[in-house]
Amino acid sequence: MLAIRSCFRQSISSFLILRFISTETEYLKQEINKAREWLDTFNYEKIPRNYFDISFSRSSGPGGQKVNKTSSKATVALSSDRWLNPQFCYWIPAPVRTQLQHNPVRYQTKVGGLLVQSDSSRNREDNTDECFRKLLREIKDKTFFVAEVSEEDQKRWNEIRKQTNEKRLLEKKKHSDKKKLRSKAFDKNSINY
């Protein structure tokens, strides 16, 4: 069990390190800054809908006769040859696409395509908008860029690291002295009865 845990920890930590290092080293700071800005400012309405297959079907849940008789459930799909392809997903910056290739969104199919559904509203246009909102929210949740560290923070972390190291060495010295006291030869003559 312990071996499994350590293996799991190593795989997770190596994955996270590789994920962030590969993104940081693969792209210039300027591209990463543009991707950060894109994550902050991009709106679901700017997604080009002409590349997506949008279909409507009967919805389920509350809504009564309106839901039963109209096709208001929206399904937005993108085939595997188009998803994360720079020709079709040009609206996603390259550093973000790279992270999505390593850390897929939950709407990605087994084949590698994309499928998002929504039936939260009785209106098909609202449901279509909700699909694109969900997709963009998931993309933003799956993407992460390491923030720039200020010099002040760097100095503070170095100071904390130094203090921690000194404390560790002091504890080590105490432990060593304690063991040395235990290992001294036992002298029979020093005992007074």
Show the CA angle centred on residue 140, arms to residues 8 and 80, nearest 5°. Answer: 80
The model's pLDDT over 72-96, given as tens digits with 9 standing for 90+, comes to 899 999 999 999 999 999 999 999 9
Per-residue pLDDT band for 17 (boundaries 50, 70, 90) equals: very low
Hey, is 110 helix, strand or coil? coil
The residue to which tokens 């699909």 are assigned: 131
Cα separation, 125 vs 131, in Å, equals 10
Hey, is 118 helix, strand or coil? strand
Read off the tokens for 183.
């290992």
Q: What is the pTM of this model?
A: 0.65
Element (H, E) at 34: helix 29-41
Read off the tokens for 131.
């699909």
Please report the pLDDT score of residue 126 as a whole number.
94
Residue 71 near residue 124 (C-beta atoms within 8 A): yes
Cα separation, 5 vs 21, in Å, equals 24
The model's pLDDT over 22-38, given as tens digits with 9 standing for 90+, comes to 455 567 888 888 999 99
Q: How far is CA 38 from the centre of its chain?
A: 16
Percent of the chain scored above 90 by pLDDT? Answer: 54
Residue 127 pLDDT > 70, yes or no? yes
